[in-house]
Amino acid sequence: MPGTFIELKTALDPLSAYVVGPEESKRALLILHEWWGVKPHNRKLADHFATMGYRVMIADLFDGRVTDSSEEASLWMRELNEQQDEVDEKLATAIDYLHQEGQRRVATYGCSMGGRQSLIASLNNPDKVDATVMVFCRMESNPDRLTPLQSPVLVVYAEQESNWPEKQQLFEAAMAKAGKTTEAISYDAAHGFTNPESSRYDSGADAAHLKVVEAFLARHLS
């Protein structure tokens, strides 16, 4: 069954979302997009997990806007960060939709900006998120902010980022201090290696990371 865009009501502005996959599924995945907006590769990823039996949603945090300009994307991300309370409300609505009052186990996944939002969504909805995946994103180094986290966490790092491995070390130290554990894997690739539209795309690393994510979700959403 092909995916479709729906609109969900929130206490603030409505949320536009791409949904695909069997409605009767007991496993769900919330995908958070990068700063480019919802692009074809995001929908392709959602469709891929739908064929594996997941009910999948991409929460469109940019209300249909897409761009190829890093300057414009950076501006949109800064604006989003300034409206994090509204974003939190939208993510809670998306998770509620997927969770179906306990009928489904839910995971969050995101790359770059989306990876950061994946963590935030899990921190804010700890009783409804069962697995968290973050891919080459800005990390949290304050252990106090990680305390609410209840789900297992998988972090995928890009070794060619200038702040790796320091970012991994800081996050793992913060998680340990908060009494949490994390799984991690890194690839000799650049930030953006999962995006086929990017000059930094690495098909081998992308395919390899996807296999790791599939196994992680299968373990924790079964």
Q: In CATH, what class is 4-221?
A: alpha beta
Ranges of each domain in the chain: 4-221
Instruction: Give the burial string for 56-78 (b: 16+ CB within 10 Å, else e).
Output: bbbbbbbeeebbeeeeebeebbe
Q: What DSSP assignment string belongs to 142-201?
A: -HHHHTT--S-EEEEEETTSTTTTHHHHHHHHHHHHTT---EEEEES--TTTT-TTSTT-
Angle between helices 84-99 and 113-124 (to 10 degrees): 70
Contact residues for 119 (Cβ-Cβ < 8 A; gap 6+): 108, 132, 134, 137, 140, 153
- Note the pLDDT of residue 11: 87
Strand positions, DSSP E, 21-165: 27-32, 55-60, 105-111, 131-135, 153-158
Q: What is the dihedral of CA 175, 176, 178, 179, to 10 degrees?
A: 120
Local structure of 135: helix, strand or coil:
strand
- Note the pLDDT of residue 7: 97
The two three-digit tokens of residue 205, written as one number: 């690393």
CA atoms within 13 A on the CB side of 205: 22
The answer to whether 143 and 174 have CB atoms below 8 angstroms apart is yes
The two three-digit tokens of residue 194, written as one number: 């999962």
- Note the pLDDT of residue 191: 98
- Note the pLDDT of residue 39: 98
Please give the order of strands across the beta sheet that includes 27-32.
4-8, 15-20, 55-60, 27-32, 105-111, 131-135, 153-158, 183-187
> What does each of the 222 residues of the chain score in pLDDT, given as a tens digit?
789 999 999 988 999 999 999 999 999 999 999 999 999 999 999 999 999 999 999 999 999 999 999 999 999 999 999 999 999 999 999 999 999 988 999 999 999 999 999 999 999 999 999 999 999 999 999 999 999 999 999 999 999 999 999 999 999 999 999 999 999 999 999 999 999 999 999 999 999 999 999 999 999 998
